[in-house]
Amino acid sequence: MFKNFARVFLLSLFCQAVNAQIAQDCVDAIPICSNTPVNGGTYDFGSDDFNGATATGCLEATTLGTIESNSAWYRFRTNASGQLGFNIGHDSTEDWDFALYQASDCNLLGDPIRCNFFDNSEGVSFIGVGEDPTGNTDSVHFEDWLEVEPGQDYYLFINNYSNVNSGFSIQFTGTIWETNPYDALDCSIVSNLLGPPIAACEGDNVELNATTADALNYSWFMNTGSGYSQITGATSATYTVTASGDYRVVVATNAETIISDVQVGFNPSPMTNQVSDETFCQTDSMTFDLNTKDVEALGNQSPNDFMVSYHSSPSDATMGIHPLEKEHTTLVGQETIYVRTTSMANSNCFDASQSFVLEVIESPVLTFSEQEVICETVGSLEIGEAYPVPNFEYMWNTGQQTPTIQITEAGEYTLTVSNIVNGVSCESSRTVTVSISEMPVITSIDIADMSVNNVVTIHTEGQGEFEFALNEGEYQSSNIFEGVPPGVHTVHMRDLYGCGEVVEEIVVVGFLTAFTPNGDVLNDLWQVEGLSTLNSPIVTIYDRYGKLIKQMSQFDAGWDGNFQGKPLPSTDYWFKLSYLDNDGNRIFAKYLQSHFSLRR
């Protein structure tokens, strides 16, 4: 993400390189107060400015054994307060390093306040302070911004480690160019008659002014790489430059002859091509990759020469501030994006004439439950979107075209909802699985253990999902209750989907399923355990034909297998258990396994 600034001076390697002045020693550092065009490269170094040291800050000795190998020195002075940074643009195949010193004397440099010694294995084109102008937020080649005040002096040491180089440029950035776009740096330190190096755009009117009091005559020269040649007819105090190169003026006065050189570099201005509108459906991430529009904006122009940024207003695009993140967060609706194409060589060379519309269409969000149950006692159910959106289209796999439908059968029902805008359809589908739940019915109850703490199992049949409770206890998914004492208990069984509840009273007692009245004292009597927990219990025993054989209360020891003093044959017999409820009514206990065997 780019920092916000009103004016960013971008200087790259792609304007015509000429042999500009390079100061190899700190004492000759070139004073600058704005961005510079690309120079002709650095070769060797003059005096060892570090006096044999092998390190300064992060910088280490080169293959020559010294910190300097192919060096250049610059100096500048701040004229405003705020945030300041700079970019050093170079060929991506070359390895450059830098160190920045806050000092006003080369003999008192101290330690650098910013420096970078990373190799260029990534093949980047910029190093510096602040943020990479290409938008690479992960670059290790950029140090933190400077917070500056007016009148602070700095020395900038730039060194080529790769020994083969095609030069570099310097571009200044930061918020001080917003508040002071024309005097963020102090140009009074530049004593050169023609001023600091000049970076311009093709078509700009660049006039060099060498006006000097008491001048006798002026002679102008130009160097495009083969040495200075006099410009025919250029004899006035000013000269209008139309091509990149090194320019020299020789001013003759009665007292002296003044010679002043300056470099002027022209960079091509880009043209932003028409960019098409984008319409897409809303997604969970809700971002749009603006990088995908770069190809349209650039057309045949090289991304190595120009970069594209996107802005939320025409003024931001024109000023080159507040660029949008390339992974742009979007909202439902229309948004106009303004495009700025900028020369990598000079940010003053740009085109912000184009824009496009991002339209995000709302994707339907379906929230109805994916599991529904039809209660058997009701017989039907309404499913679907209870709060439909008026402009959406609804289609069920049943062929119905309404937000909700009434159903009576189990199955899977799918609703597809469409939002169609300008021919783009955003769809969402959701399937609801419907089952039928029958009214809960207790079919039988098993009682195991015949003890003080019994196990009670409740059996049911039919479709549905149920939960169970005993007496006033909490509901549970299991149909088994352990540790149940003898006596009268209330069983609750209910459907999980609210289709109904059944409450039954059960009696927990124990009895032998078979007894052997043969006089061996073992199982000679048949009896019901736990009768004492009931109110006035009565057990009646019948043969298979319904004939009453025996009636017992809780005080009887049990049945010995005789009827009127005579032993009955081995076979199955049935029994009923009744007792008085809380209202004094005699009722029969349900769900007892009401038969047993007599064996002789």
The closest alpha carbon to 251, from 240, 263, 260, belongs to 260
Residue 496 binned pLDDT confidence (cut-offs 50, 70, 90) = confident
How far apart CA 206 and CA 200 sit, in angstroms, is 8
Reported as a single tens digit per residue, the pLDDT across 260-303 is 999 999 989 999 999 999 999 988 778 899 999 999 999 999 99
Taking residues 510-532, what's their average pLDDT? 89
* % of the chain residues with pLDDT over 70: 95
Read off the pLDDT band of 365 (50, 70, 90): very high
Closest CA to 340 of 315, 358, 317: 317
**Structure confidence by residue, pLDDT tens digits, 373-403:** 888 888 899 999 999 999 999 999 999 999 9
User: CA-CA distance, 161 to 117, in Å (whole number)?
Assistant: 9
3-state secondary structure of 143: strand
Residue 243 to residue 556: CA distance in whole angstroms: 128
- What torsion, rounded to 10 degrees, do the Cα atoms 175, 180, 185, 190 define? 150
Residue 206 DSSP one-character state:
E
| Tens-place pLDDT, residues 228-258 | 999 999 999 999 999 999 999 999 999 999 9
Is 96 in contact with 127 (CB distance < 8 Å)? yes
Tell me, which fold does domain 371-437 have in CATH? Answer: Immunoglobulin-like (2.60.40)
Query: 124 with 136: CB under 8 angstroms?
Result: yes
Q: What is the CATH code of the structural domain delimited by 442-508? A: 2.60.40
> Residue 392 corresponds to which amino acid?
F
CATH code: domain 278-361 is: 2.60.40
The Cα–Cα gap between 239 and 231 comes to: 10
With b for 16 or more beta-carbon neighbours within 10 A and e for fewer, the 319-345 pattern comes to bbbbbbebebebeeeebebbbbbbbbb
Tell me which residue of 165, 26, 151 sits closest to 77, measured CA to CA: 151
Enumerate the domain spans of the chain. 26-189, 198-267, 278-361, 371-437, 442-508, 510-598
Buried b / exposed e along 485-501 (16+ C-beta atoms within 10 A): ebebbebbbbbebebbe
Mean pLDDT, residues 202-223 taken together: 94
Of the CATH numbers 3.40.50.2000, 3.40.50.1000, 2.60.40.10, 1.20.120.1770, which one belongs to the domain with range 198-267? 2.60.40.10
**pLDDT band at 6, cuts 50/70/90?**
very low
Give a three-class secondary structure readout of 216-285: EEEEEEEECCCCCEECCCCCCCEEEECCCEEEEEEEEECCCEEEEEEEEEEECCCCCCCCCCEEEECCCC
User: In this predicted structure, what is the pLDDT of residue 38?
Assistant: 79
What values do phi and psi take at 252, rounded to 5?
-100, 125
Task: Compute the average pLDDT of residues 117-123.
Answer: 92
Distance of CA 209 to the CA centre of its chain: 55
Strands 548-553 and 528-529, sheet pairing: unpaired
Nearest to 88 by CA among 57, 117, 125, 44: 125
- β-pair partners for 577: 539
Evaluate if residue 1 carries a pLDDT over 70: no
Query: Comparing 136 with 151, which gets the higher pLDDT?
Result: 151
Question: Are the beta carbons of 290 and 324 closer than 8 angstroms?
Answer: yes
Could you give the CA distance from residue 100 to residue 127 in angstroms, rounded to a whole number?
Answer: 12
Range with top average pLDDT, 318-332, 417-431, 582-596: 417-431
Amino acid at 471: N
On average, the pLDDT of the chain sits at 89
Query: Residues 25, 47: contact at Cβ < 8 Å?
Result: yes
What pLDDT is recorded for position 499? 83
> Given this chain, do its domains 198-267 and 510-598 carry the same CATH topology?
yes
Q: What is the pTM of this model?
A: 0.63
Mean pLDDT check: name the lowest of 22-36, 178-192, 440-454.
440-454
Write out the DSSP string of 365-433: ---S-SEEEEETTT--EEEE-SS--TT-EEEETTS--SSEEEE-S-EEEEEEEEEEETTEEEEEEEEEE
What is the b/e burial string over 457-476, where b = at least 16 CB atoms within 10 angstroms of the residue's CB? ebebeeebebbbbbeeeeee
CATH of 510-598, one of 1.10.20, 2.60.40, 3.10.50, 1.10.10: 2.60.40
Query: Which CATH number applies to 26-189?
Result: 2.60.120.380
* Spatial CB neighbours of 159, under 8 Å, sequence gap ≥ 6: 42, 45, 59, 62, 67, 68, 69, 70, 71, 72, 96, 97, 98
pLDDT at 15: 33
pLDDT of residue 433: 95
